[in-house]
Chain A
Amino acid sequence: MRMSYREAVRAALHEALVADPRVFLMGEDVGRYGGSYAVSKGFYDEFGPERIRDAPLSELGFVGAGVGAALGGLRPVVEVMTVNFSLLALDQIVNMAAVYRHMSGGQFSVPVVIRMATGAGRQLGAQHSHSLENWYAHVPGLRVVAPATVADARGMLPAALAEPDPVVIFEHVGLYNVEEEVGDWACDLTHAAVRRPGSDVSIVTYGGSLPKALAAAATLASGGIDAEVLDLRVLRPLDREAIAASVRRTHRVVVVDEGWKTGSLAGEVVAGLAEECLYDLDAAPRRVCSAEVPIPYAKHLEDAALPSVDGIVAAVREVCGA
């Protein structure tokens, strides 16, 4: 059936709330307001204030309460409005949720799911538009995922709720209105996925950059370059085998990442390839990332700061010597 990314997240949440009384949604304005991205509209009336828990503006407090509630036997889905706001809760995610199992000698699991919006493109300026997924992907103990398709938006939440450990889900703000046909959405939180097979070059990407990569691949096809598009899906742990396998087929790679290039996930992907299959590469890798600047408000400047279809096309042509 055809549905939007927003409807897919909503359907996944609804199903989980119906199926498991331990599941509850907590966050700022998830209840009466209906969710800042309208994902949980109507849930407050349907499930009540204990299952759809409006939290005060205290990210550290309510994310930490989610960690504690998970330790106490519940299955919290904690919604943080944007990744920028999640920095207020970083202590509870990085110093508590991620380390709790190992630091306690394996005595505890922390099955908390933390969802947050990420990314730019809506002219929201430098405090609502960043892509800090790699900050979380850096941390052992977390599983970090980025649904880039409507099917993954539908499937990743139940898979995350089935996990015994903390899962951070990044939903790109530019994807909520995307509509796609969704068939079998069941998925794992382990593997990358080839979204477009190709033989000449691998475009490795994730999240909100996937539609741009696919559009670039379509443009390149008309110019005679057959690009493979690999969607990482899971940012930690990375599916390094799938990345290497794609590059061994195509021998060329461009990595597209809305994060800043310095210290980026794209850098990690390229470094991994250098370690694992340097001699399979016929050309130096390229990274297409955001400009090293706080994301500005003005539309033309925001566009200039972000990875673009044209920029991806140009980078691919360069590595292909075309």
Chain B
Amino acid sequence: MTDPVPDAALGVRLLTDMLRVRRMEEKCAELYGATKIRGFLHLYIGEEACAAGVLPTLTEADNVVATYREHGHALLRGIPLRAIMAEMFGKASGCARGRGGSMHLFDASRRFYGGTAIVGSGLPLAVGLALADRTLRRPAVTACFFGDGAMAEGAFHESANLAALWQLPVLFVCENNLYAMGTALARHQSQTELTAKAASYNMPVWSADGMDVLAVHAAASEAVASVRDEGGPAFLELRTYRFRAHSMFDPDLYREPAEVETWKQRDPIPGLAARLRAAGALDDARLAALDAAADAEVADAVAFAEASDWEPVADLLTDVVTPASGAGTGGAR
């Protein structure tokens, strides 16, 4: 717990990011109980070091494709917490106007392409985004987050093959939390060394401790650099664990409580805080201030979401298709 911190300023920044995600999601759980948030709600608590370590290694020109457990990715990509919270409330001021909810957060201006909830569905999309960047000679990387469960889907294998075959700039980020919903890794993968699967497609692979945000950041920096410099894809496995159930409907009967408790001892937030204290970069007052700021951001977002309006029912059918479509004439082109 007292490994040296090579870059204290970075450490404090990543700690701040993780705290913001943690406080947001703790409030989400509370608001779910209060029926302000409905539908499926998949919490990232315990896994924050993954998004917090990877996202700062990307630029604004890069693309991010995430899963249905994407609140943290959305926040750390820069989507205002107000817009995220309002989306979970189903309000028109949400980042998808209340049409998406918790699983479908989007922000075109930040190149955040969701928020998709069919396991593996973001992978082919990421390949296509990278194909567009390559074709249009834009030097962007597409980071695609998915879980260990997605690696049993054909979509992973088809996408890994396409990205490597066509040498497209995709960073495949597997957040391996050891469970595909309720099915343990060894019960859903013939090869539990997930990097071996990815490596078989002829791409460089990294694996990092997903409970150590600095380790994630270091590995992600190398992997992103590889994608940028070599042009082809890379695979990054982050070994992590979710402390909460799969969703709010999950009674969590498939994991031993002792296993969960063991992983909680490796909580990425107090772990990093202790290292920063040991390095003299953090004290009680600073930590309290960070916590208070995170709480205040959440409180502001909840108030904003509460006060926001619902999208009028009259707008139900808008944006099924793009306005004014269907009139095009072939001859006019």
Q: Say if the beta carbon of B295 comes within 8 Å of chain A.
A: no
Residues 60-76 of chain A, each 1 if its beta carbon lies under 8 Å from chain B, else 0? 11111111111111101
A69-B129 contact, Cβ under 8 Å, with A61-B158, A185-B330, A189-B326: yes
Task: Chain A residues near B333: list those with CB within 8 A.
Answer: 16, 19, 158, 161-162
Return chain B residues, CB-CB under 8 Å to A162.
328-330, 332-333
Assuming the contacts A69-B128, A72-B133, asked whether A91 and B121 have C-beta atoms less than 8 A apart, the reply is yes
B331–A155 CB distance below 8 A: yes
Query: In the complex, are the beta carbons of B332 and A186 less than 8 A apart?
Result: yes
Roughly how many angstroms separate A76 CA and B135 CA in the complex, as a whole number? 12
Do A108 and B326 form a contact, CB below 8 Å, given A70-B128, A74-B132, A186-B332?
no
Q: Which residues of B contact A65 (CB under 8 A)?
A: 124-125, 127-128, 131, 159, 162
Any A CB within 8 A of the CB of B172: no
Residue of A whose beta carbon sits closest to that of B166:
A53
Interface residue tally on B, bucketed by range: 35 or more
Residue of B nearest to A61 (CB): B158
How distant is A87 from chain B, measured CB to nearest CB, in Å? 13
Are the CB atoms of B129 and A106 closer together than 8 Å? no
Instruction: Evaluate contact between A71 and B124: CB separation under 8 angstroms.
Output: no
Q: Is the CB of B161 within 8 A of A71?
A: no
Chain A, residue nearest B324 (CB): A164
CB of A105 closer than 8 Å to a CB of B: yes
Q: Are A96 and B116 in touch, CB under 8 angstroms? A: yes
> Which residues on the B side are within 8 Å of A190 (C-beta)?
326-327
Q: Which residues of B contact A71 (CB under 8 A)?
A: 113, 125, 128-129, 132
B328 touches A74 (CB 8 A): no
Please give the number of chain A residues whose Cβ is less than 8 angstroms from any Cβ of chain B in the complex: 61
Question: B23 on the interface (CB 8 Å rule)?
Answer: no
The interface residues of chain A lying within 8 Å CB-to-CB of B320 are 101-102, 140-141
The verdict on B325 contacting chain A, using a C-beta distance below 8 Å, is yes
Docked-complex contact A104 and B129, CB < 8 angstroms: no
Contact A106 B319 (CB under 8 A): yes
Contact indicator A60/B118 (Cβ below 8 Å):
no
Q: Which residues of A contact B322 (CB under 8 A)?
A: 101, 109, 164-165
Contact residue among A50, A69, A106, A158 (Cβ-Cβ distance under 8 Å from B330)? A158
The B-contacting residues of A in range 118-173, CB under 8 angstroms, are 140-141, 143, 154-159, 161-165
Closest CB in chain B relative to A184 CB, distance in Å: 7
The 8 Å CB contact of B104, one of A73, A104, A109, is: A104
Q: Known: A60-B124, A96-B116, A105-B319. Contact between A69 and B131, CB under 8 A?
A: yes
Question: Which B residues are CB-close (under 8 A) to A184?
Answer: 331
Which residues of B276-333 are within 8 A (CB) of A? 318-322, 325-333
8 Å CB contact of A188 from B114, B123, B165, B326: B326
> Can you report 20 A-B residue pairs in the complex whose CB atoms are below 8 A from each other?
A58-B158, A61-B161, A65-B128, A65-B131, A66-B128, A67-B125, A68-B128, A71-B129, A71-B132, A72-B129, A74-B136, A92-B121, A96-B116, A101-B321, A102-B99, A103-B114, A105-B106, A163-B328, A186-B332, A188-B329
